[in-house]
Amino acid sequence: MNTFFTKKASVIMVGNPGAGKSAILNALGGDFPSGFSDLHGMTTRVSHNDVKIEDRSFRLVDTPGISDPGEGGQGDERTNIRLKMLQEAMNDGLVCAIFFVISPRNGRIEPGTLALMQLVLNSMKKGPKVGLIINQVMPGHLDQVQSESYIAAVRKVLEENKADLTFLDKQPHLVLADHEDGFSEQDRHDIKHYILGFKPKEVQIHDMLAKSLRIILMLLMAILQQAMH
């Protein structure tokens, strides 16, 4: 029996604000507010919807992006709150399917994205199985983000932080073109196929704040630098 479709299985997208996590969940049948800008996301709290795809039931969990440079002096406090939200969401079910969502800027991986991946993985008691979605890719950057060197840089961070890459070895990352006007039917099909191919594992989370204060500072600095360019 595929444990992914038990009642307590959850699908969680992890990424920075504005990466398009809510829109991807909506393509799976969720009903979450979504919107896009260069850096800011619309999700500010954890919410979930129980849905069925192909007669199989699972839970979609929408979580806010971790840090937003538009939050001014309260950014570090809100980052801590959102880390706790993510931690609680991951600890809520017996099994969890974790997908990192990357939204490249000018085809490049932002330092804040890699810092976030490191933070989450370092907070795990055991390396989780993960998927990878590269979202909102401009047409001129499609070849770049699918290149071996681009993916190797992401996989290096995952490997160094003991992520389980068995899913990515069999089912390569999913690339989605910019979808300001909404996902196409083909995009929706590809998203469902990618998610349904994932067999999740049980995850256990350390206290993200106590475990990773140094990486939190790296994350905040990287996103601040991103906002200044």
pLDDT in the model for residue 38: 44
Between 229 and 73, name the one with better pLDDT: 229
Q: Mind listing the pLDDT tens digit for each residue in 101-140?
A: 998 888 888 877 888 888 888 877 778 899 999 999 988 8
Which residues, in sequence order, are CB contacts of 211 under 8 Å at separation 6+? 122, 123
Which residues, in sequence order, are CB contacts of 94 under 8 Å at separation 6+? 3, 6, 8, 9, 202
Using an 8 Å Cβ cutoff, are 47 and 62 in contact?
A: yes
- Residue 166 CA to residue 98 CA, distance in Å, equals 13
Answer yes or no: is pLDDT of 37 > 50: no
Q: At what angle do helices 148-160 and 111-122 cross, to 10 degrees?
A: 30
pLDDT in the model for residue 5: 45
Q: How confident is the model at residue 206 (pLDDT cuts 50, 70, 90)?
A: low
| Residue 78 zone, left/alpha/beta (φ > 0; ψ -120 to 50; rest) | alpha
84: phi then psi, degrees, rounded to nearest 5? -65, -40
Instruction: Tokens for 93, please give them.
Output: 């079910």
Q: Which helix (H) or strand (E) holds 209?
A: helix 208-211
In this structure, which amino acid lies at residue 87?
Q
Q: What average pLDDT does the structure give for the chain?
A: 78
Q: Which helix (H) or strand (E) holds 133?
A: strand 130-137
Using an 8 Å Cβ cutoff, are 136 and 36 in contact?
A: yes
pLDDT in the model for residue 186: 93
Q: How confident is the model at residue 220 (pLDDT cuts 50, 70, 90)?
A: low
pLDDT in the model for residue 4: 47
pLDDT in the model for residue 175: 94
Q: HSE of 90 in the Cβ direction (CA atoms, 13 Å)?
A: 29
pLDDT in the model for residue 43: 57
- End-to-end Cα spacing for the chain: 49
Q: How confident is the model at residue 216 (pLDDT cuts 50, 70, 90)?
A: low
Using an 8 Å Cβ cutoff, are 160 and 215 in contact?
A: no
Considering the chain, what percentage of its residues have pLDDT values greater than 70? 74
CATH code for residues 3-228: 3.40.50.300
Mean pLDDT of the region 36-59: 71
Answer yes or no: is pLDDT of 57 > 70: yes
Mean pLDDT of the region 71-92: 69
Tell which residue, 79, 157, 85, has the closest CA to residue 122. Answer: 157
Instruction: Give the start-to-end residue ranges of the domains of the chain.
Output: 3-228
pLDDT in the model for residue 166: 93
Between 90 and 72, name the one with better pLDDT: 90
Using an 8 Å Cβ cutoff, are 78 and 104 in contact?
A: no
Answer yes or no: is pLDDT of 1 > 50: no
